[in-house]
Structures are given as C-alpha cells and as structure tokens.
Amino acid sequence: MGSYKSKEDDVNRISTSIFVTNFPESFSAKDLFQSCKQYGHVVDSFIPLKRSKEGKRFGFIRFINVFSVERLVSNLCTIWVDRFKFHANIARFQRAPLNRNKVYEKKNVESFRGGVQTSRKDVGGADSGKSFVNVVKSIYKSGTVDCEANPTIVLDDDCLNSKDLTNSLLGRVKEFASLSNLKTVLTNEGFVDISVRYMGELWVLLEFASTKSKELFRDNVGVGSWFSELKQASIEFNPDGRVVWVEVEGVPFKFWSENTFKRLAAKWGELLDVDDQEESCFH
C-alpha cells in the first residue's frame, strides 16, 4: 500500500484519475499499476489504508493521453485478478501536485512561528478539497466516495436456486471440443431422457428422469470415457476455471500454426481449441 509513481506530479494537469475497487487483499499500488498499464499510459497508482463502508479496499489509478474515458473505464472493468473482477469509475476529483502541497506546509510553519497557530486542514486554498489525501481523510469519514458508482445488487433468499438435484450428476468432459456434440453422443448410447446444461469451464449438468437412469449412466463404460470426472450434483458447485474465446488478428501467415496460438493463450491460461476459418480469411 502507499503510492507508486513513475512520473513527476506536473502531469496531473493533463491526466485522468480512475477509481478502482474489488481486488485482492494482498494487492499493492504497484500491482494496480502493472494491471492497468496495458490499457493506457499509467503515471500514478494509489491505494489508501482506508476502506469503503462495505469494508472493501479501493485505489486510484492515473492515466495521461486518454482519448476516451468511457472506453478506458470499460476496459478496466474487464480485468480479472484471481477471482476478483475490477470495478472502475471516473473519479470526480484531481490530485493536487506535491510541490503545491510543500508550499502550503511551508506557509503553515511560518504562520505558527509568527504567533498564529493555523491548522493544516485550513491551509491550501479551495483546491485542497479535491486532493487524494482530502478524499481519503475527509470524505471517507462519512463512508462515501466522491465518484460515480452503480447501485449494489443484493441477492437475498428469494434469489436462491431451489432445484432438486437428486437425479442429477456433474460431469467434466476430457476435451473441450466434445461439448458441442455431447448431447448427440449420449443419445446414441441410449440415454434419450437426459438434459445436458453447460456449467462453465469443462463442466456440464446431467439431469435424469429417475434415479435408476442416473445409476445406469454412471455404470456405462462407454459414457464414462467421455468424462474425466463424474460426481453427484450440488447447489454449492463452482467451476475452477473459465473458458473464454479470444479473437486474434494481425498474425502473419508464416506464423499461422498451432504453436503460435498456444504461445498466445499461455499468457492467460491453456489453449483448448482453435476455430480455423481458413476458407474465408487468414487474418
């Protein structure tokens, strides 16, 4: 925590501040800097010790040469760190330059020596109310942040899934490509009255008409070869990973190979499949 800087504070007048929250407890200002720099020229990141009224940590990230603030905020909201997805909004204040703060502190000392004790919060002019420090120390005393935020969605007991999963199984397929024709394969094996629902990553929910059908399914050797894991379905289930499609453009034809896309995918995870549209384009 604290402040991590890369430029002098004179860039503040041409910069844009973004409020960011929903990141891990161990996240530092430098981590915030590194996570956001892919979407623009980052010059400053700051994570205060204070927390929001919901008990969450928050921080501010400063960019320069921002052409579209709305697009920047939208991009920042796509960043995932572990199981946390960034929440970002435009901050309404601008941080005061450090050199200006030094002048204010000097004036404060001189006033005291002259016999007039001036509290530091009264020094600094009207702009001091818009600084990072003022927001953290003053505004957060009331438990609010001076930035635009979407209303919180509260999921209460009325939103809970009450589905009976007694005759259901959770299956993790061995190959990603098998998800598209899994229903057809299982029907060919004789399991006509079965419902297949995608649950995320490589998992599917298999719903049967009866307990007997479920047990026959678990004992079927042919069906079992399609799954790396089969287990009783539970409301508490959460997939360990996520499957996302990434569209890659601009790869030269000489690099159009499986190893190329494995290398690209390794930046975020593991390559599962490539949709090779060579009949229409090579972009």
71 lies in some domain:
yes
150 lies in some domain:
no
The CATH number of residue 50's host domain is 3.30.70.330
Are 110 and 166 found together in one domain?
A: no
Count: domains in the chain = 4
Are 84 and 14 found together in one domain?
A: yes
Are 86 and 19 found together in one domain?
A: yes
283 lies in some domain:
yes
Are 85 and 103 found together in one domain?
A: no
pLDDT value for 156: 76
pLDDT value for 277: 60
Domain boundary among 30, 65, 90: 90
pLDDT value for 24: 87
281 lies in some domain:
yes
Are 219 and 282 found together in one domain?
A: no
pLDDT value for 170: 92
Q: Using CA atoms, how far apart are residues 27 and 79, in angstroms rounded to an integer?
A: 14
Q: Using CA atoms, how far apart are residues 45 and 30, in angstroms rounded to an integer?
A: 7
In Å, how far are 169, 216, 277 from 182, measured between CA atoms? 14, 17, 23
**Alpha-carbon torsion, ordered 44, 50, 56, 60, to 10 deg:** -20
Are 86 and 113 found together in one domain?
A: no
Are 104 and 85 found together in one domain?
A: no
The segments of the chain whose pLDDT lies below 70 read 1-13, 92-152, 276-283
175 lies in some domain:
yes
144 lies in some domain:
no
Q: Which domain holds residue 49?
A: 2-90
Are 80 and 105 found together in one domain?
A: no
22-39 tens-digit pLDDT: 898 888 999 999 999 888
48-79 tens-digit pLDDT: 988 888 888 999 998 888 888 888 998 899 89
Q: HEC states along 126-162?
A: HHHHHCHHHHHHCHHHHCCCCECCCCCCCCCHHHCCC
pLDDT value for 177: 81
pLDDT value for 90: 86
10 lies in some domain:
yes
